[in-house]
Amino acid sequence: MAKLFYAGISGLGSAVPDKIMTNADWAKLVDTSDEWIRTRTGIEERRICAEDTAASDLAFLAAQRALQSAQAAPEEIDLIVVATSTPDYPIFPPVAALLQDRLGCGKAGGFDLSAACSGFGYGFYTAAQFIESGELQKVLLVCVDTLSKNVDRTDRSVCVLFGDGAGALVLERTEVGYGHLASIVGLRGSGAPDLIVKLGGSKTPLTKENIGNQDQYISMNGKGVFKFAVNIMGEATEQAIRKAGLTNKDIDFFVPHQANIRIIDAAMRHLDLAPEKVIVNIQKYGNTSSASIPLALDEAYRDGRLKKGSLIATCGFGAGLSWTANVLRWGK
Ligand code: ACO
């Protein structure tokens, strides 16, 4: 459908905790090795939140940087969308409200969006609609997750994978043909048990009896998720590229969700992309869930790789099972 307006990224920023946890650090706690983690996942180290650091703390830093990069005042923001699976509080208030107050976004409304590791893609697609329709002028999208707090630190098959981080974008109207071009989204709910935290929701609320139970942590069918992701990432990205009226050859940069280097490599082969077109920083941050794509995007912007006109495809996948891919033309 033709767009009334185009929604571009006018600013972006990111934040990660200071604490670095290397593979060697994990090898002191569980039966693993730097070699196993590196070769099976591509991860070398990840950032881990201090116990008293909440999602909103990382979100606040990333958002401040994004506002600065967009040269936007907090009072100009119309809407705050926060993509997270790890809000400060399990039921309410939403992180968006905490951010609104802390940033001083006086006139903003806002809400949280739960789409696991697909959070960036769903958030970007959602936020773009408000700009493309002409309804709002400036939307702040913040993707933040602190999944290191939700892993069983004795489960080597999960605990080594996740790191914490936040990425934020300001979206506003941009030149015709720039910014958000196309998105696709998908769900395969039959795979819900493959990546799940069973305890603490309405199905099994926390009680005095079940607190401390294994079910409070991430439970993952690693092989099942791997098989799903290794196919969906390439296919979904190609669909979004086609929806934008482009071909794989047109893409200057591919920014995949950073969950496993072998999944990223498979997508790169599927899309027939040269390695220098694929933005990868999994080695430094591990899987930061919804934050991984904006963290990588911010890094590529800051080191000068993204140029005005660069065509970018992104693809995320995660619990649900869910996926999403977006195509945008860099306009900054
Ligand atoms: N160190 C050493 N050995 C390990 C570790 C570890 N950290 N973890 C598992 N192993 C062992 C297993 O126990 C198994 O041993 P066994 O053969 O004696 O039983 C062996 O290594 C092989 O295990 P596999 O599970 O077959 O290993 P695989 O190659 O599949 O890699 C991994 C596991 C890395 C988890 C992979 O399956 C994967 O990345 N899956 C996708 C996960 C993912 O992306 N999740 C996030 C989704 S995003 C979101 O929404 C949160």
233 lines ligand 1 (CB under 6 A): no
Residue 176 tokens, joined = 């015709």
Is residue 162 located within the same domain as residue 215?
no
**The pairing of beta strand 79-83 with beta strand 45-47:** unpaired
In this predicted structure, what is the pLDDT of residue 212?
85
What is the pTM assigned to this prediction? 0.96
Q: Give the whole-angstrom CA distance, residue 293 versus residue 281.
A: 10
- Does residue 294 lie within any of the structural domains? yes
State whether 146 and 274 are in the same domain.
no
Whether 20 maps to a domain, the answer reads yes
Among 81, 160, 147, smallest CA distance to 113 is for 81
Does residue 1 lie in a domain region?
A: no
Contacts of 326 (CB under 8 A, 6+ apart): 121, 124, 125, 180, 182, 183, 240, 313, 314, 315
What secondary structure, in 3-state letters, does 10-43 show? EEEEEECCCCEEEHHHHHCCCCCCHHHHHHHHCC
| Domain match, 69 and 146 both | yes
Q: Which of 154, 177, 200 is the last residue of a domain?
A: 177
Q: Is residue 220 part of a domain?
A: yes
Same domain for 103 and 208, yes or no, is no
Is 270 labeled as catalytic in the residue annotation?
no
Encoding tokens for residue 193?
Answer: 């048990």
260 lines ligand 1 (CB under 6 A): yes
User: Burial letters for 144-177: b for 16+ Cβ neighbours within 10 Å, e otherwise?
Assistant: bbbbbbbbbeeebebbbbbbbbbbbbbbbbbeee
Task: Mark whether 254 and 325 lie in a shared domain.
Answer: yes
Query: Does 223 sit in the ligand 1 pocket, CB within 6 Å?
Result: yes
CA 125-130-136 angle, to 5 degrees, is 150
pLDDT of residue 1: 66
- Domain match, 82 and 165 both: yes
Mutating to test ligand 1, I would choose from 85, 226, 282 the residue with most ligand atoms within 8 A of its C-beta, which is 226
Residue 326 exposed, middle or buried by CB count within 10 Å (0-12, 13-18, 19+): buried
Q: Say if residue 216 is in the same domain as residue 114.
A: no
Note whether residue 275 is domain-resident: yes
Are residues 11 and 71 in contact, defined by beta-carbon separation less than 8 angstroms?
yes
Q: Are strands 45-47 and 109-113 parallel, antiparallel or unpaired?
A: unpaired
* Residue 211 belongs to a domain: yes
CA of 191 to the centre of ligand 1 (A): 17
pLDDT on residue 3: 86
Question: From the candidates 117, 143, 159, 315, which is the catalytic residue?
Answer: 117
> Could you tell which of 22, 35, 40, 228 is best to mutate to test the pocket of ligand 1, judged by most ligand atoms within 8 Å of the CB?
40
Site to probe by mutation for ligand 1, drawn from 147, 225, 265 as the one with most ligand atoms within 8 Å of Cβ, is: 225
Q: Which among 149, 140, 129 is positioned nearest to 83, based on CA atoms?
A: 140
Distance from Cα 205 to the centre of ligand 1, integer Å: 29
Looking at the fold, whether 115 and 192 belong to one and the same domain comes out as no
The CATH number of the domain holding residue 101 is 3.40.47.10
Which of 177, 207, 232 finishes a domain? 177
Q: Report how many domains make up the chain.
A: 2
User: How far apart are alpha carbons 141 and 121 in whole angstroms?
Assistant: 11
Is position 117 annotated as part of the catalytic site? yes
- Domain boundaries, position 124: 6-177
Those residues with Cβ within 8 angstroms of residue 225's Cβ, 6 or more apart along the chain or in another chain: 191, 194, 195, 321
Q: Based on the domain organization, do 39 and 130 belong to the same domain? A: yes
Instruction: Look at residues 177, 207, 229 and tell me which one is the last residue of a structural domain.
Output: 177
Asked if the structure places residue 75 within a domain, the reply is yes
CA distance readout (Å), 150 to 242, 256, 310, 313: 37, 23, 37, 30
Identify whether residues 275 and 198 lie together within a single domain: yes
Q: Give pLDDT, residue 81.
A: 98
Q: Are residues 22 and 49 in the same domain?
A: yes
Q: Are residues 159 and 219 in the same domain?
A: no
pLDDT tens, N- to C-terminus, the chain (332 residues) = 678 899 999 999 999 999 999 999 999 999 999 999 999 999 999 999 999 999 999 999 999 999 999 999 999 999 999 999 999 999 999 999 999 999 999 999 999 999 999 999 999 999 999 999 999 999 999 999 999 999 999 999 999 999 999 999 999 999 999 999 999 999 999 999 999 999 999 999 999 999 889 999 999 999 999 999 999 999 999 999 999 999 999 999 999 999 999 999 999 999 999 999 999 999 999 999 999 999 999 999 999 999 999 999 999 999 999 999 999 999 97
* Selected catalytic residue, list 23, 260, 287, 326: 287
| Full DSSP string of 265-302 | HHHHHHHT--GGGB---HHHH-B-GGGHHHHHHHHHHH
Residue 46 within a domain = yes
Residue 265's pLDDT is: 98
